[in-house]
Every structure is written in C-alpha cells, then in structure tokens.
Amino acid sequence: MTNFRASFLVARVVIVEDGKVLLVKHQQGDKIAWVFPGGRVEENESVAAAAIRECKEETGYDVELHGVCYIQEYDIFYVTYFYSSIIGGKLALGRDPELPEGKQILKEVKWVPFKELTNYPVYPQKLVQLIQNKSFLECFIPIPESFL
C-alpha cells in the first residue's frame, strides 16, 4: 500500500513597482515572517482565482495576474507565485476570515524597497534574490486564459 500524504495548494502574488515589492507581515507568537500576499486555495477554486481573492483579502488591492514566476514546495504545501499588477483597490491591512479577531496573524502590509529586503525575514529567500535580478520580469510563464 502506498503512503498517503495530504497536501495543500497555496497561491501568492508578487507585485513589483518602482523598485519596491509588496509584502505582508505574518506573526504567531514570537515567530515573524514577511511573505508575498496570498493563502490557501479553497475547494473548487482555481489557483489563479485564489491568488486574486487572497491578495484582495490581505492587502485591499485588486490584481491582474500575468504569469507564474516561482513555485515552491514546503512540506505539505505547494505554493504558486504569480507575477501580478494592481488594477484597483486601496492599500489596507486585511484579515484572515477563518481566524477570530484575537488570533489574527496578519500584522502589517507594506511596500519594501529592494535595497531593504535583506533587513526583513522574507520567505522564500530564493524568490527575493530572483526579484532583485534585472531579468526577473522576463522569466515568468504566461497564464493560459482558460486558467483564469
């Protein structure tokens, strides 16, 4: 018999503007991580639709996805990162609708200049390095229209 391992899909967006990248601070107790906006894909939801929804929930921004720029596996999570641009909304720290008010892990949302990224515990670090590379915008894989 084959061992069964449950896995979760996660979708995140990478938004780069004027030498800055949009990040969200997650904190649980003493553990802090700065991550790209996003979250779990819900049942019967596409990864692309989840990226758009989660970005709106966490940052207040409406986004357009341009392509997949990075994929990462973490234990039981498979994360797809979409290079995206803002098409509407207003920057505002959101909340996780699945968590009660006193247990929220979203603490801050902000634009971080490339030159300051090393001052933050940003995950995944390899993606940060790619973003700082001038050819980053040429490397994403376009999304077929049928995926949206």
Q: What is the CATH number of the domain that holds 49?
A: 3.90.79.10
Is 2 a member of any domain? no
Is 148 a member of any domain? no
**Predicted local confidence at residue 143, as pLDDT:** 74
Residue type, 121: P
Spatial separation of the C-alpha atoms in residues 22 and 51, rounded to whole Å: 14
Residue tagged 């894989």 (tokens):
141
Tell me what the mean pLDDT of segment 43-55 comes to: 95
Is 29 a member of any domain? yes
| pLDDT above 60 for 92 | yes
Is 141 a member of any domain? no
| pLDDT above 90 for 46 | yes
In 3D space, the residue among 58, 73, 55, 54 whose CA is nearest the CA of residue 8 turns out to be 73
Give the domain range for residue 112.
8-91+98-136
User: Into how many domains does the chain fold?
Assistant: 1
Is 70 a member of any domain? yes
Q: Model's pTM, two decimal places? A: 0.88
Q: Are 62 and 89 in contact (CB under 8 A)?
A: yes
Spatial separation of the C-alpha atoms in residues 79 and 99, rounded to whole Å: 21
Is 20 a member of any domain? yes
Is 23 a member of any domain? yes
According to DSSP, residue 102 is labeled G
Is 47 a member of any domain? yes
More confident residue, 98 or 24: 24
Spatial separation of the C-alpha atoms in residues 85 and 15, rounded to whole Å: 6
**Predicted local confidence at residue 5, as pLDDT:** 55
